[in-house]
Copies of this chain bind each other. A is one copy, B any other.
Amino acid sequence: MSLIVQKFGGSSVANAERVFNVARIVTDTYKKGNRVVVVVSAQGDTTDDLIEKANEINPDASKREKDMLLAAGEQISIALLAMAIERLGCPVVSLLGWQAGFQTTSAYTSARIKSVRTDRIEKELDKNNIVVVAGFQGINRYEDVTTLGRGGSDTSAVAIAAAMHADLCQIFTDVQGVYTADPRKIPNAKLLKTISYDEMLELATLGAQVLNNRSVEMAKKYNIELEVLSSFTNTPGTIVKEAKKMEKLLISGVAKDTDIARVSVIGVPDEPGLAFKMFSRLAAKNINIDIILQSIGRDGTKDISFTVAKSSAKEAEEVMNEYVSNVGGKKVLVDEKVAKVSIVGAGMESHAGVATKMFEALYDAHINIRMISTSEIKVSVLIDEEFADAAVKAIHAKFFDED
């Protein structure tokens, strides 16, 4: 008898018909003799409706009350899914985050899971119940309701799988699995049978938002095998697991991220601690930096460029202008019309020439590279935003069509 955790997102339970679709997947798994824990998000529109209601009353409401409000969304979806499972004739019980033992930090709207006390879930499984758990939510040490922020339900599912040593954690989405590129843009993108945690992590950061990064990190840490698959088609998806277990693909995917802006600080006096002083100011404002590029010094000054999310561009610019006024420097430039295109692959660790092949593809397509950043399993380039799709297409063709 296997223990399987299944997670369904908001679009998978958006209406009565889809709730029954999920109930059928769950009961089929249960009838095969498995113990099943199901983690569900709020129904498609519910969260938006609740946010709209809140904004109408108080756009600056406290995060505590926002969490109280939003957590009602999963409460509705777990009850409805449990009712559908009841109707299909299987024993079931629904549990809220606190009932399922989710203890989190106190950071409302972006809490982190501290522990999952699984006694109640285990008790219900021992009674042969299917257990439906509200994703995305828990309680902090004040017994106040918290939510986990974006992609929180994925993390809830993996946390339960980890705490209970589940045999498999299936993440059902509206796509078939993980592809070598966005299949809506690249028609011959290929569905990956397997991918390593690290590759999945790099892809998620790069905007291929199939799985939330926190959930992949947790799965890696506890070595939980994930399967990403569609709740609408009955076909195998992509298995995310330890790299050692699988054949290394040269590269596993091409991804783009257009939610990005480049900030350049020109003519900064070249002194020790320059990077620290600059980036600690950004950290103090909670501005996340992605690629950093520091020019070789000239005339005792340097140029430093970095990328941030578009939504942080304005604030980053202000912080840097302040830096230039206080510490020195010529000027601050911001370019929001950029995109990052990356290739990811555990195989490139041991294969030379992968980056070169990518640059060649871009050269052939007449696309200019403005910044480059590399890691063991990733190569990213910054290019003009207007060429982003063309770049993905050219790179994908270079690596996959020649196979």
Contacts and interface: CB of A to CB of B under 8 A. Distances in A.
Interface in A387-403: none
Contact of A64 (B19, B68, B93): B93
Contacts of A62: 82-83, 86
Contact of A53 (B16, B73, B78): B16
Contacts of A80: 53-54, 57, 69
Contacts of A83: 54, 57-58, 61-62, 65, 69
A87 B145 CA distance: 21
Interface residues of A, number: 38
A327 interface: no
Q: Oligomeric state, in number of copies?
A: 2
A71 interface: yes
Interface in A111-129: 120
B68 A78 contact: yes
Interface in A10-62: 16, 19-20, 50, 53-54, 56-58, 60-62
B69 A72 contact: no
Contacts of A82: 61-62, 65, 68
A84 interface: yes
A139 to B, nearest CB: 9
The SS class assigned to the A binding surface is helix
A83 to B, nearest CB: 4
B79 A16 contact: no
Contacts of A19: 57
A76 interface: yes
Which of A20, A61, A78 gathers most chain B CB within 10 Å? Answer: A61
A115 to B, nearest CB: 17
Interface string A134-172: 000000000111000000000000000000000000000
Contacts of A238: none
Contacts of A96: 68, 145
A75 interface: yes
A57 B120 CA distance: 26
Which of A61, A65, A143 gathers most chain B CB within 10 Å? Answer: A65
B79 A75 contact: no
A76 B86 contact: no
A73 B79 CA distance: 13
Contact of A79 (B69, B76, B99, B143): B69
A94 interface: yes
Which of A19, A58, A69, A82 gathers most chain B CB within 10 Å? Answer: A58
Give the 7 A-B residue pairs with the shortest CB-CB distance, closest first: A69-B79, A61-B83, A58-B83, A68-B79, A58-B87, A72-B75, A72-B72
Given A58-B83, A65-B82, A65-B83, 5 more contacts: A54-B79, A57-B80, A60-B87, A61-B87, A62-B82
Interface of A: 16, 19-20, 50, 53-54, 56-58, 60-62, 64-66, 68-69, 71-73, 75-76, 78-80, 82-84, 86-87, 93-94, 96, 99, 120, 143-145
24 contacts: A16-B57, A53-B76, A54-B83, A57-B83, A58-B87, A60-B86, A60-B87, A61-B82, A61-B86, A62-B82, A62-B83, A65-B79, A65-B94, A66-B79, A68-B82, A69-B76, A69-B79, A71-B75, A72-B73, A72-B75, A72-B76, A96-B145, A99-B143, A99-B144
